[in-house]
A and B are shown apart, each in its own frame.
Chain A
Amino acid sequence: MSLYTKQEWFSNIKGDTLSGIVVALALIPEAIAFSIIAGVDPKVGLYASFCIAVIIAFTGGRPGMISAATGAMALLMVTLVREHGLEYLLAATLLTGVLQIIAGYLKLADLMRFVSRSVVTGFVNALAILIFMAQLPELTDVTWHVYAMTLAGLGIIYLFPYLPVIGKSIPSPLVCIVVLTAVYMISGMDIRSVGDMGELPDTLPVFLWPSVPLTLETLWIILPYAMMLTVVGLLESMMTATIVDDLTDTPSNKNRECKGQGIANIGAGLMGGMAGCAMIGQSVINIKSGGRTRLSALIAGVVLLMLVVFLSDLVSQIPMAALVAVMIMVSIGTFSWESIRDLKKHPLSTNIVMLATVAVTVSTHNLAIGVFVGVLLAALFFANKVGNILYIGSREIEAGKEREYQVVGQVFFASSERFTAAFDLKESIEKVTIDLSRAHFWDVTAVQALDRVVIKFRREGTEVELVGLSEASATVVDRYAVHNDPEAVEKLMGGH
């Protein structure tokens, strides 16, 4: 796949142009809202969204996916901005980009296979909840006007598409913003608007190097933030890429996407924008609107900047209530409602993984920690499940003299205790044969458990003979590359 194949850019010009415009219109309220979450001027998020969307169009590995300033990333920046200011955020954004490029070269995207489906669902649900919670400050301690406006906005967003003809050709979030802005400007009601939240872009973005001292001290301040931003940015991007893969039934290059995200973040940092990543909601809107190639992301970025720079007076008049309505829509659209229904159907361990991911994320406001806990839990549950696949039977060969134990299944850290307990040391006997030819010893814990059993038998004066140990312990070797060799797999799984 070369960078400029015609197919990746121009195979769907009409669809991509229109969807790009729809996405741009939806990106504006999101970029402003996420800037507010991060505690920076709206222009930081808008410049970021422009830079990231445009750069990722060229560098990304998943055509049709939309990246820009995101809520997941904004939530991680809050304390950095509050304690050290915008310049440190820009420096952290640059460092994030560098780390993501390194991750791409190290092919860390391949690690995504350890993130199970229930963790992904938990991530998505937590993200939706966090986006919704971030709107609450705009809805507390305000006059009834704000509630009325927000409800009207939601009404427009969800009912406008039912209108014949225009319903499906004009984006309803845009109608919501235009109508509410008009109402606000005409009525002159006393509610907050985007202009009250900080500076909007009045020029095209310009190149600027973050003015932070280039010292180790600076590095220690930004490094923890950059690492979290790297992880969360890549997680959300990889998950979104998978969603777009599924929707369009086409493959993507995940490691290239990692590098592309990194380059885009460096670009954003150098143009006065905050770090961002792929956006689940926007990517779904893009596909739904008919976007398929790289062109739609490029158009989304360019249209976004044009609108904001040339209409900045109007943009500053958008009431916050309109933004809140759009963000509630994004939250609703991001949440996986299917997962609530599936709670009854799925096994308890799966549900615990999903709910734990949500709970930890929502309480820490950090998706990386949530995913880490989710992956850890999923691994433990899996180890526990596989640990149950162990059967140890025995038969007397000669009464009071000889007994044969047969071990079938998986012996490793999670099942070694059960393995040890299965041998009857109380029995006074001369010889014991342990047949291991249908067992797999996966780790050193398993080998040590076997050693312990053998020693215990010997101390009771029982002679121990091991059968098939070499086959059983072949799996202890770490790089047990059998996956491409059907014969080896057959041999490994032969006992079952």
Chain B
Amino acid sequence: MTDQVLAAIDGSQFSEGICDYAAWASLAMSAPLTFVHVVDNHSEVPEEQNLSGNLRFGARERLMKELSELDEQRAKVNREQGKWMLEAAKARALEEGVSDPMTRQLNGTLVETLVELEKNMRLLVVG
């Protein structure tokens, strides 16, 4: 499958435009269309800062638990949101006449994931 049109959506204001362009390109090139949403669950910026600077009993284990719980919550929300966005994009593409748009959701950073998907794509649409 090296002939795909890949559209990366992230829920920003450009998503609709990307969706339209990708649908148009898919029809024009008569190539299958896939929407991709990449979930990056490890934000570089920590949400909470605890500047108490002390270490108590089991400090490492506790911190590990806290951080992974935060990531877990964020990941679940992101995944739900992403699914919903992908559905919306799919519906929009169907409306525009694309016969069978596909959706994919992947974990990781956007750039790394797109590099991995590179070999399968003919055209990439990003916002």
Contacts and interface: CB of A to CB of B under 8 A. Distances in A.
Given A22-B51, A290-B46, 10 more contacts: A12-B44, A158-B54, A171-B51, A285-B54, A292-B44, A329-B54, A329-B56, A330-B55, A336-B58, A336-B61
Interface stretch (A45-53, A81-89, A244-252, A443-451): A244-252
Interface stretch (B12-20, B63-71, B118-126): B63-71
Among B48, B54, B56, the most chain A Cβ lie within 10 Å of the Cβ of B54
Given A18-B51, A168-B51, A332 B44 contact: no
B51 A7 contact: no
Contacts of A160: 52
Contact of B54 (A11, A12, A171): A171
A288 B45 contact: no
A289 B42 CA distance: 17
Contacts of A25: 53
B49 A289 contact: yes
Contact of B55 (A12, A15, A174, A329): A329
A336 B67 CA distance: 18
A161 B55 CA distance: 11
Nearest to B68: A249
Majority DSSP secondary structure for residues of B touching A: loop
A243 B51 CA distance: 20
Nearest to A170: B51
Contacts of B49: 15, 18-19, 168, 289-290
Given A15-B45, A247-B64, A281 B51 contact: no
Interface residues of A, number: 46
A366 B96 CA distance: 71
Contacts of B64: 246-247
A170 B50 CA distance: 9
A130 B125 CA distance: 58
25 contacts: A15-B45, A15-B49, A18-B49, A19-B49, A23-B53, A168-B49, A168-B51, A170-B52, A171-B52, A171-B54, A173-B54, A247-B67, A249-B42, A280-B60, A284-B63, A288-B59, A288-B63, A289-B49, A289-B51, A292-B45, A332-B55, A336-B58, A336-B60, A337-B57, A337-B58
A394 B52 CA distance: 68
B22 to A, nearest CB: 28
Contact of B52 (A23, A167, A248, A250): A167
A288 B50 contact: yes
A26 interface: yes
Contacts of B61: 336-338
Contacts of B54: 157-158, 161, 171-173, 285, 329, 333
B44 A285 contact: no
Contacts of B57: 332-333, 337
A172 B53 contact: yes
A338 B58 contact: yes
B60 A243 contact: yes
A109 B46 CA distance: 29
Contacts of B46: 12, 15, 290, 292
A338 B48 CA distance: 25
Among A7, A23, A160, A338, the most chain B Cβ lie within 10 Å of the Cβ of A338
A59 interface: no
A281 B50 contact: no
A11 B56 contact: no
A293 interface: yes
B55 A293 contact: no
Contacts, number: 104
B62 to A, nearest CB: 9
A126 B45 CA distance: 33
Contacts of B68: 249
Contacts of B71: 249
Interface in A133-167: 157-158, 160-161, 167
Nearest to B57: A337
A428 interface: no
Interface in A199-223: none
Contact of B42 (A158, A243, A248): A248
Given A170-B51, A172-B54, A287 B63 contact: yes
Contacts of B59: 284, 288, 333
A334 interface: yes
Contacts of A7: 44
A169 interface: yes
Contacts of A338: 58, 61
Contacts of B48: 290
Nearest to B59: A333
Nearest to B60: A284
A333 B56 contact: yes
A125 to B, nearest CB: 12
Contacts of A247: 60, 63-64, 67
Interface in B56-104: 56-61, 63-64, 67-68, 71
B125 to A, nearest CB: 24
A183 to B, nearest CB: 19
Contacts of A169: 51
Contacts of A334: 55
Interface in A322-355: 329-330, 332-334, 336-338
Contacts of A292: 44-46
A136 B68 CA distance: 37
Given A12-B45, A248-B67, A173 B58 contact: no
